[in-house]
Amino acid sequence: MACFERVSPALKEMLLKLYRAEKPMEIDHHLYEFGSVEYHLQSSASDPHHIYLSIAAPLLAQYGIPSCNTQVLKGVCVDVVEMVNPPRQGYQLTLRLDFSNIPNGKDAVKIIRQISAVQAVILSSQLKEMLQNVTSQSTAQGLMYKPIKLVYHPREPFFVVRQPEKITAVFPMRFKENSDVIIATAFFQELMDVGSSDKWAKVPPCSWSPIPPPELRGELFEDLSTNGGFVSFDISSYHVKGKRLEKTVWNLLNFYTFVKYHVKSTRGFIQRRMSRRMDNLVEVLQKVTVEEDEQTTNVQGNSGVRKLVSFSKSKILRRKLGEFINKIKRIRVPIKIQPFSRFRRKWLKSLNFPQ
């Protein structure tokens, strides 16, 4: 699945290291990222200007590289990036990078950032092509299409459904822990409430349902079995105009990641609050039960010599804790209200019990 950033931080760091190296470097390095993505960098000291970058990802292994991705990759830094056919064994894509054509200055960093975002280009191209056809003639005529299942991560598929004048993205939500389900459900309901307000009227409408929406009728049972319900977003032509297209595509690709991040952050926040509250309660108990770390008493013996007797901290704690418990017991005694007690005595006196 995609990450929050388009650019791979580790890949960018390695490419900048190779580009700024004063001497040719011999390198054969593997990088692994979330989503079972693997990068393989190869550089030879005998040919320092050419770097080979190989990429392996579950999506590429299952579906290959569509023609649209090939055209997109060819448009990324034409003078620097070149596709190698066939790719290296065990990888679905191999690129040859010519560092001698990279200009000096800030443009070099910009080009390396574009190269480091090659995985994001591949991931977003398929969904971008679908969203660009949101106002196509066939959908405008009311023709319905079967949901298209997109798998960017083996355990996180989602569906894209083409409808008249809009495209609906449906996300089946699955969680391992019951506490995560509770946090996520509250988040989805809040997301719907905020999205329906006037302030956010221009964002894609969001809806959540514990059961599969009608658009997914007929899909496999394993794809519809969830414990977190289904979240849907309606994408219209407004959301794919100009620069909004890139942002909309990337937000949809990162939705699973964002929900996981929110659930994890919320769970951590709750745990920190509970821990802080527990520390405060312990501190209060310690103030009540322990007034001094060590208590000394003066004892005068038969010889008239005063001795200091120190009690252990554990004994003081036990004694103070017993006093504190007795205080709690006294507090729990029912409170007697004087007017009612007088009324009770008068009422008992008025009764005539048989002898």
User: Which range (53-57, 78-82, 94-98, 186-190) has the least confidence?
Assistant: 78-82
> Is the pLDDT assigned to residue 64 strictly greater than 80?
no
**Single-letter code of the amino acid located at 50:** H
pLDDT at 144: 57
pLDDT tens track for 158-216: 999 988 888 999 999 999 999 999 999 999 999 898 888 888 888 899 999 999 998 89
pLDDT at 340: 41
232 neighbors 163 (Cβ within 8 angstroms) = no
As a whole number of angstroms, the distance between CA 155 and CA 106 comes to 40
Please tell me the pTM assigned to this model.
0.66
As a whole number of angstroms, the distance between CA 1 and CA 123 comes to 9
How many residues make up the chain in this entry? 355
> Is the pLDDT assigned to residue 321 strictly greater than 70?
no
pLDDT at 335: 41
Q: State the residue for tokens 């910009």.
A: 110
Highest mean pLDDT among 11-15, 295-299, 301-305: 11-15
As a whole number of angstroms, the distance between CA 13 and CA 237 comes to 38
As a whole number of angstroms, the distance between CA 6 and CA 124 comes to 10
Beta bridge partners of 151: 157
Per-residue burial over 131-154, b if 16 or more Cβ lie within 10 Å, else e, is beebeeeebeeeeeeebeebebbe
